[in-house]
Structure 1
């Protein structure tokens, strides 16, 4: 497209976005080292220059479609509410926990517009174009859940166990989104991770001259849910439900063993054995979008498995 065509398509004005991200936190101490809190945060993301003014064509003269930005895009925004506790409720105990809720709106997505249904959008476009894919504030979403973490120093209560500690961390969240398309509904967000529990037990020698830690990671299985939002043809009918079924990513339990040796104040040796039991497992974030009806995707899914038992060692010198 020529510069004149681009100016007709986007207009001559220059858009700008001002984002204000306030927050408010109220805390009260239940004990001198242990506090409860309530918090609110507002965040946002301004549209990028490509989302506002980007242009993409597959071929210069032969393509009959175009992907364009929208100079009038609004910023994506979110409001997060947290209620939790943090600190040390008793000697030898560290505790952090919260429940949260986040509301998102004006998520930016790309919508298909055919010329025969939206002729007004093609008034300033070249005559050979029949489809415009345009960025827009299309989706909204919400995510909520809880997080909990604690560490216990066992030597606080039993001097003979000084240096022995245990830790526990748990996270659970659920999210869902919907678009502005007619007929759409809230569908679980595929990017939200499944529940995970991490538990560990370890020992640090006096002066932390050496130490060892056994860590167990346990993740729940999850199956992502597909939508037709990104393939919606926008020809007048409502959005239909997707018939694609993704492969369910199974849950797993994995053990990792770590050790360190502080050889000198400036020299430290670290070594570890990951996936101690040599169990096959998959990370949901890496394997959530494989089609269960596709033999090729099943092969790709198998290739996406995490490594079996592995070893690593490193030597760090501090100057």
Structure 2
């Protein structure tokens, strides 16, 4: 069976932007206004294919679940830039953002036509009533060369979302109204929904030190440091709901790297992607106890796996064999560290043998190798 309905989507957009420069005491100051207009229209197709070979799903029941979705958004932006030095700039920017629902969020009925798990049968379903997720994004930062040999890029941001799209877990016993068009053998669903309010704030900093700038003996030696921290909260429209942690925000991560380059060849040592990651446990889905009576929503009882933090070491190198030919390769997760990725493992529970199997299957790859060649024509 197909994982989701076929669909056809059209996106049209256009933008206008200008940059106005001023001289402020021999420092350049720029104002950059802009506006973007975007329209998207999506509709499902070939719904009969979705119900093929299923004993519990029919084309009519799928048609009752899924319809057309379209919207138009006007997105203004405004940026201020100021050159502190000829090589270092600070900026403050506002951007209105929009994220249209994608095909999986609209028509993604993964497992909807299956019947193999008895009372444990679950499905991930889409929602064509989704509204476009909009955001107001404010960011301040610095980027450029602080002094000779040291480059810096840093930013602080605050993003406020309306109609934030996330998945909510519902059970047939507690939320029968959510199962009107769902096959009777499905007892748990995860459905894409709009949260009325959500916000994410945080900061990131990355810097590179070129030691050869100060010590000729180590020309080509460099070090890279990077850190990213973000925090998010969300609140649904249910009466009595409150702000809770936004589980789709990744934990703190850091990168520490070292590189060495020489004429004709380059050898670089660095940790890999997200090499240092803080452990975290996703919050329970309190919205599944929704009654909309105005009383406080009770805490959910689900016990999710705490995804442990981890550190990894990668080694990569490349050699410029000829002007147009470069060999590159690397060993990733050099110490063969066993670890889990938070964003892909945060929904794993801990109460059953199946949960233990899911945890074992979610382990990320161990030590791996890569070798490639780039030829520029």
TM-score (norm 1): 0.77
- Find the counterpart in structure 2 of residue 211 from structure 1: 266
Q: Measure how far apart 1:53 and its partner are.
A: 10
Distance 1:86 1:262, change over 3 A: same
Distance 1:228 1:210 in 2: 55
8 Å contact from structure 1 (residues 50, 69) kept in 2: no
- Find the counterpart in structure 2 of residue 62 from structure 1: none
Distance 2:372 2:103 in 1: 42
- Find the counterpart in structure 1 of residue 76 from structure 2: 22
- Find the counterpart in structure 2 of residue 306 from structure 1: 364
More deviation in 75-84 or 299-308?
299-308
1:169 paired with 2:226, answer yes
Distance 1:101 1:89 in 2: 25
Q: Measure how far apart 1:16 and its partner are.
A: 5.7
Distance 2:227 2:262 in 1: 27
Show the 5 A alignment for 1:217-296: 217-229=275-287, 231-232=288-289, 234=291, 236=293, 238=295, 239-296=297-354
Q: Measure how far apart 1:105 and its partner are.
A: 0.7
More deviation in 87-96 or 44-53?
44-53
Distance 1:50 1:36, change over 3 A: closer
Distance 1:233 1:188 in 2: 17
Which has the higher Rg, Structure 1 or Structure 2? 1
Aligned Cα root-mean-square deviation (Å) = 3.5
Distance 1:292 1:52 in 2: 29
Distance 2:336 2:159 in 1: 38
- Higher-RCO chain (CA-CA 8 Å, sequence separation at least 6): 1
8 Å contact from structure 2 (residues 339, 364) kept in 1: yes
Q: Deviations over 1:209-267 (max 9, x none)?
A: 211222122111111112132x4564747532211121111111110000111111222
- Find the counterpart in structure 2 of residue 199 from structure 1: 256
Kindly tell me the number of residue pairs found equivalent between the two proteins. 286
Q: Measure how far apart 1:301 and its partner are.
A: 1.1
1:37 paired with 2:94, answer no
Q: Measure how far apart 1:89 and its partner are.
A: 1.1
Distance 2:326 2:73 in 1: 45
- Find the counterpart in structure 2 of residue 147 from structure 1: 204
Q: Stretches of 4+ moved more than 6 A in 1?
A: 48-56, 109-112, 133-136
Q: Measure how far apart 1:153 and its partner are.
A: 1.1
Q: Measure how far apart 1:90 and its partner are.
A: 0.6
Distance 1:257 1:51, change over 3 A: closer
Q: Measure how far apart 1:296 and its partner are.
A: 1.9
1:107 paired with 2:161, answer no
Distance 1:277 1:54 in 2: 38
Q: Measure how far apart 1:273 and its partner are.
A: 1.0
Distance 1:19 1:88, change over 3 A: same
Q: Secondary structure at the match of 1:35?
A: strand
TM-score (norm 2): 0.66
Q: Measure how far apart 1:138 and its partner are.
A: 3.9
8 Å contact from structure 2 (residues 161, 198) kept in 1: yes
1:297 paired with 2:330, answer no
Distance 1:291 1:52, change over 3 A: closer
8 Å contact from structure 1 (residues 219, 252) kept in 2: yes
- Find the counterpart in structure 1 of residue 45 from structure 2: none
Q: Measure how far apart 1:34 and its partner are.
A: 0.5
Distance 1:100 1:297 in 2: 36
